[in-house]
Amino acid sequence: MINIVLFVTLLVILVVWSFGFLFTHDFSVQTKNINDISSKNPNVLIIFPHADDEALSSGGLISQLSRKKNKISWIILTKGERGNATATIDEKLKIIRINEARQAAQIYGINNLVQKDYPDNEVVAYKNKLNNDLKSMITENKPSLIITYDLAGLYGHPDHTVVSEVVTKLVKHDFPHTKLWYVSYPKKILDLIPLPEHMATDNKFKKNRSYPSCKVWVGLSGVLDKMRAIYTYKSQRQSFVNSFPIKIFPLWLYISLSSYEYYCEVNQSNNKL
């Protein structure tokens, strides 16, 4: 009897997981080979405003490229002091999130982690300084590929959108030979998941969304690294849970579905700035 119950339970989990995997992914989007990405992009620069921004969207690709000995540099622009339920300043949270980011960097195999201290949720007030800082860091790192948010900032978060705007303009005007990829998701997923859109300061942010032009298979090792990184971000665990539609399913189950990651390859023809 116990064996039958166990078998049925495992079968149900497998059916649910398979349905979730098939529903989650857009198989019409071109798949890029990780070996090609690695060989063509020896030096990759990841730019996000907060620790944890990279985890679900690009953590698998980051860890896979690190495994292939690509040089990965990661810039985090804030220390995330407003990363709590009320979005109020908590100076103690800075230390927690810095340490979480360092642990995540070790999981990804990143040696070059740059931690800046722009005010969380107020980066837009320092746009000129941000432009100069990022221009200097891009010049120093000489990346062949930059990965960041799209111009909608996923859900309109002002820190996300201003970073994308600055990086996009820099690539367009100062580093035209550097490839720029926005992290992205299929439209059906963005329409389904409960993103914190109340944080948007522009209610028309969705018009700036960029949908995937390619996807990357990050495999079991990429998913496991991503899972380890997400669980490392203990201070942000609830925000990850809140971003999924059915709360009875555990966080690890949702992460296990993300063996494809999606990107919009930005070029001069679709550049919106």
3-state secondary structure the chain: CHHHHHHHHHHHHHHHHHHHHHHHCCCCCCEECHHHHHHHCCEEEEEECCCCCCHHHHHHHHHHHHHCCCEEEEEEEECCCCCCCCCCCCHHHHHHHHHHHHHHHHHHCCCEEEEEEECCCCHHHHHHHHHHHHHHHHHHHCCCEEEECCCCHHHHCHHHHHHHHHHHHHHHHCCCCCEEEEEECCHHHHHHCCCCHHHCCCCCHHHHCCCCCEEEECHHHHHHHHHHHHHHCHHHHHHHHHCCCCCCCCHHHHHHCCCEEEEEEECCCCCCC
Residue 127: band (very low, low, confident or very high) from pLDDT cuts 50, 70, 90: very high
**Both structure tokens of 212:** 């995937």
Identify the pLDDT of residue 250: 92
So where are the chain's domains?
30-266
Handedness of CA 88, 93, 95, 98 (dihedral sign): negative
Closest CA to 182 of 50, 75, 58, 68: 58
Q: CATH second-level architecture of 30-266?
A: 3-Layer(aba) Sandwich (3.40)
Q: When comparing pLDDT for 59 and 245, which is higher?
A: 59
Q: Does pLDDT of 249 surpass 80? A: yes
Closest CA to 211 of 189, 192, 195, 193: 189
Identify the pLDDT of residue 1: 67
Identify the pLDDT of residue 6: 76
Cα–Cα distance, 269 to 246 (Å, whole number): 38
Over residues 134-152, the mean pLDDT reads: 98
Q: What is the dihedral of CA 245, 246, 252, 253, to 10 degrees?
A: -110
For residue range 183-240, what is the model confidence (pLDDT) as tens digits? 999 999 999 999 999 999 999 999 999 999 999 999 999 999 999 999 999 999 999 9
Closest CA to 172 of 140, 138, 202, 128: 138
Q: What is the dihedral of CA 49, 66, 210, 136, to 10 degrees?
A: 50
Burial 105-136 (b: 16+ CB within 10 A, else e): bebbbbeebbbeebbbbebbeeeeebbebbbe
Q: Can you give the pTM of this predicted structure? A: 0.94
**Both structure tokens of 161:** 């959108």
